[in-house]
Chains A and B, each alone.
Chain A
């Protein structure tokens, strides 16, 4: 089974990386570098592919992050749920697809399937072949925004389908959720869909993370920063 390197020594040294089919929830307060952490986990390594569903920022901003992080843009796709509301005529490409708003779960599902299909058919990366079957990292940034537009029960059902599909394609999923904006019921329901939770907290302007659900990884708080798309665990 393919193992996805996380770039976090505490995971990679113990288990060799994230197992294919892992779905990770990043539970974090605002301004905690959680977005950078999620993108760092999503960044494709050579031969891999990444798809980001962005409900918070435009595709161009997402691509910029991956560019700075040194990722090959030919292996990175974005489903952008922001831009189309201001630019209705914007057209899809193989790697940049647009849905009208985060409300549009039908559109999000279709674009996600289309991108996966394009990757499997080998038409995603301008003829540059990746590994086969393709390892795919998928990031939802963020569940918090989706929850502002759709009811919890509906979103739960939708994410259930999405996470199951990702398991079938042997990808990994990284999902961001604001830990301070939702009640315990919401958090625990979303957690049910995941195999792993990374909690993030900020104290004295320093972010820390705690990993739960990966065998062999201790659940201690680790201070971290993200530099050029790489997670750095601080002493």
Chain B
């Protein structure tokens, strides 16, 4: 297995990339996604893999400097063990071989020779210029012989100027095992990058998109917004407070003297390599106009209910209607599992009439472990949610 260098992504793939597979990181123009390839290279080198890096568009020195600035000094010494074919090699090949066919043969011979001599087990290639010079099949041919001979893993980065049709060709015609498209929001503000796993041959993943930020030379997948909602006094604020590394609640005393949320609870946490921001809504019906805007762009919802109060379930049901209309993934946190008279998950499911795929977790919002279990389940659910 080769780690992608992105823990959240590795988990989705079942611990990384198995040996001998063909992987494509497809970059949309302008998306800062080069760290995907460099992180994978860094991880392969850290595990002692023998790597060949093909970079026809730049020199080894310029690549070295860029890679170290992106991935940190730890990569510096590791790169000394890498075999390279760079823009200087491309120029030499173009000068010495006059026809495209002759150039292709020369590339093929050089790749094969290096792979044999260095016992290369992982080939990284920046694909744009090879693709431009030789077309899709021709460029992949250059790499195929050496790859098959050594059962090497092949990892490509490609600037995709042609969009989905080219990606389909990689998947269908060229039988790539893993195709990840790295994209960005088209607006300058708010700007965010995200990756979409379009195809994975060794796992039955549905196509999924995950936003990411680059933080400390690492790609960090993040879930920008999870909304915590539910009927009044079900324990939402307690849930947000116990889930978060940092947070705020805007509570005021209600008519019964108990504090009630009058704006939004806010919490932030890092969980399973995802950065998560939680927004807790007020529960009283009079604040309902707040809920639809709060659900805008939400990537997941935790619906907190009081499992000791069946009379609040109709209210929960109306919230579920709102959530499902927006096609947002959600889980049910059935709070106060430690109190007498608590409903079972089966009873809750029956009363709420929710499908079997929606998890119902009996929790105590005061217990951090319980709260995190719900979030873990939701994060898994979000990352597996079909686009």
By a beta-carbon cutoff of 8 Å, the part of chain A in contact with chain B is: 84-85, 88-91, 100-101, 103-106, 109-110, 112-114, 116-117, 120-121, 150-151, 154, 157-158, 161-162, 165, 168-169
For B161, the chain A residues whose CB sits under 8 A away are 154, 157-158, 161
The verdict on B334 contacting chain A, using a C-beta distance below 8 Å, is no
Cα distance A88–B126 in the bound complex, in angstroms: 18
Can you list, as one digit per residue, whether each of B36-58 has a CB less than 8 Å from chain A (1) or not (0)?
Answer: 00000000000000000000011
State the Cβ distance, A113 to closest chain B Cβ, in Å. 4
The verdict on B151 contacting chain A, using a C-beta distance below 8 Å, is no
Which residues of B178-201 have CB atoms within 8 Å of chain A's CB atoms? 184, 186-189, 191
For B159, the chain A residues whose CB sits under 8 A away are 105-106, 109
Size category, B interface: 20 to 34
Q: With A100-B58, A109-B29, A110-B34 known to touch, is A120 a contact of B162 (CB < 8 Å)? A: no
For B128, the chain A residues whose CB sits under 8 A away are 105-106
Cα distance A110–B37 in the bound complex, in angstroms: 15
The verdict on B61 contacting chain A, using a C-beta distance below 8 Å, is yes
The answer on a CB contact under 8 Å between B65 and A89 is yes
Cα distance A139–B187 in the bound complex, in angstroms: 21
For A113, the chain B residues whose CB sits under 8 A away are 30-32, 184
The answer on a CB contact under 8 Å between A91 and B187 is no
The answer on a CB contact under 8 Å between A120 and B69 is no
Cα distance A71–B161 in the bound complex, in angstroms: 35
State the Cβ distance, A52 to closest chain B Cβ, in Å. 17
Q: With A89-B65, A158-B161 known to touch, is A112 a contact of B87 (CB < 8 Å)? A: no
The answer on a CB contact under 8 Å between A85 and B30 is no
Cα distance A85–B315 in the bound complex, in angstroms: 65
State the Cβ distance, A7 to closest chain B Cβ, in Å. 26
For A91, the chain B residues whose CB sits under 8 A away are 69
State the Cβ distance, A35 to closest chain B Cβ, in Å. 25
The answer on a CB contact under 8 Å between B30 and A88 is no
The answer on a CB contact under 8 Å between B58 and A161 is no
Q: How many A-B residue pairs have CB under 8 A?
A: 78
Cα distance A88–B60 in the bound complex, in angstroms: 9
Identify which of A84, A104, A106 gathers the most chain B CB atoms within 10 Å of its CB: A106
The verdict on B132 contacting chain A, using a C-beta distance below 8 Å, is yes
Q: With A88-B64, A120-B188, A168-B186 known to touch, is A100 a contact of B59 (CB < 8 Å)? A: yes
Which residues of B186-230 have CB atoms within 8 Å of chain A's CB atoms? 186-189, 191
The verdict on B144 contacting chain A, using a C-beta distance below 8 Å, is no
By a beta-carbon cutoff of 8 Å, the part of chain B in contact with chain A is: 27, 29-32, 34, 57-59, 61-66, 69, 87, 126, 128-129, 132, 157, 159, 161-162, 184, 186-189, 191
Cα distance A151–B128 in the bound complex, in angstroms: 11
The answer on a CB contact under 8 Å between A106 and B69 is no
Cα distance A110–B29 in the bound complex, in angstroms: 7
| Main SS at interface, chain A | helix
Identify which of A85, A100, A109, A162 gathers the most chain B CB atoms within 10 Å of its CB: A100
For B69, the chain A residues whose CB sits under 8 A away are 91
Sample 7 A-B pairs with CB under 8 A, ordered by A number: A85-B62, A88-B64, A101-B58, A106-B27, A106-B157, A116-B188, A151-B132
Q: With A104-B57, A161-B161 known to touch, is A110 a contact of B32 (CB < 8 Å)? A: yes
State the Cβ distance, B53 to closest chain A Cβ, in Å. 14
Known: A90-B65, A100-B66, A161-B29. 19 other contacts (CB 8 A): A84-B62, A100-B57, A101-B87, A103-B57, A103-B58, A103-B87, A104-B58, A106-B128, A106-B157, A109-B29, A109-B31, A110-B30, A113-B30, A114-B32, A154-B132, A154-B161, A157-B162, A161-B161, A169-B188
For B32, the chain A residues whose CB sits under 8 A away are 110, 113-114
Cα distance A110–B31 in the bound complex, in angstroms: 6
For A150, the chain B residues whose CB sits under 8 A away are 132
Output the nearest chain B residue to A84 by Cβ-Cβ distance: B62
Cα distance A91–B66 in the bound complex, in angstroms: 9
For A110, the chain B residues whose CB sits under 8 A away are 30-32, 34
State the Cβ distance, B165 to closest chain A Cβ, in Å. 12
For B66, the chain A residues whose CB sits under 8 A away are 100
State the Cβ distance, A123 to closest chain B Cβ, in Å. 13
For B191, the chain A residues whose CB sits under 8 A away are 117, 120
Cα distance A154–B128 in the bound complex, in angstroms: 10
List 10 tightest A-B contacts by C-beta distance, closest first. A157-B161, A113-B30, A88-B61, A100-B58, A100-B62, A109-B29, A109-B30, A88-B62, A106-B159, A161-B29
For B162, the chain A residues whose CB sits under 8 A away are 157
The answer on a CB contact under 8 Å between A103 and B129 is yes
State the Cβ distance, A86 to closest chain B Cβ, in Å. 10
Q: With A101-B58, A106-B27, A112-B30 known to touch, is A168 a contact of B132 (CB < 8 Å)? A: no
State the Cβ distance, B134 to closest chain A Cβ, in Å. 12
State the Cβ distance, B29 to closest chain A Cβ, in Å. 4
Identify which of A104, A117, A157 gathers the most chain B CB atoms within 10 Å of its CB: A104
State the Cβ distance, A134 to closest chain B Cβ, in Å. 9
Output the nearest chain A residue to B157 by Cβ-Cβ distance: A106
